[in-house]
Amino acid sequence: MIEISFEINGKKTNPNNIKESLEASILQSYSESIKESIGTLRCNKHNKVPKILVKGKNLDNLSLEISGCCDDIVKKATDKFN
């Protein structure tokens, strides 16, 4: 399973721990769509999954940062979003 983390306005955020239910559901649906896009992606060389960081000043300004074991997996994951 890919790792998805959230950082909103500089703070690490876990959708499961958000009291605000609207915010939690936005982040959860975000994370679902990421999983649908690259859920099965895995590096052939290192057998590792990419890490996704969703960050932004607020929920209307989220962007993705993709990292992984090598450039190859980062590129593959990035391609999935284009």
Q: How far is the CB of 45 from Zn ion (least distance, A)?
A: 5
Query: Can you tell me which of 19, 21, 22, 45 binds Zn ion, judged by CB under 5 A?
Result: 45
d(CA 16, CA 5): 11
36 binds Zn ion (CB under 5 A): no
d(CA 49, CA 38): 9
State the DSSP H helix or E strand holding residue 25, giving kind and residue range, or none if neither: helix 21-38
69 binds Zn ion (CB under 5 A): yes
Residues at the interface with Zn ion (CB under 5 A): 43, 45-46, 69-70, 73
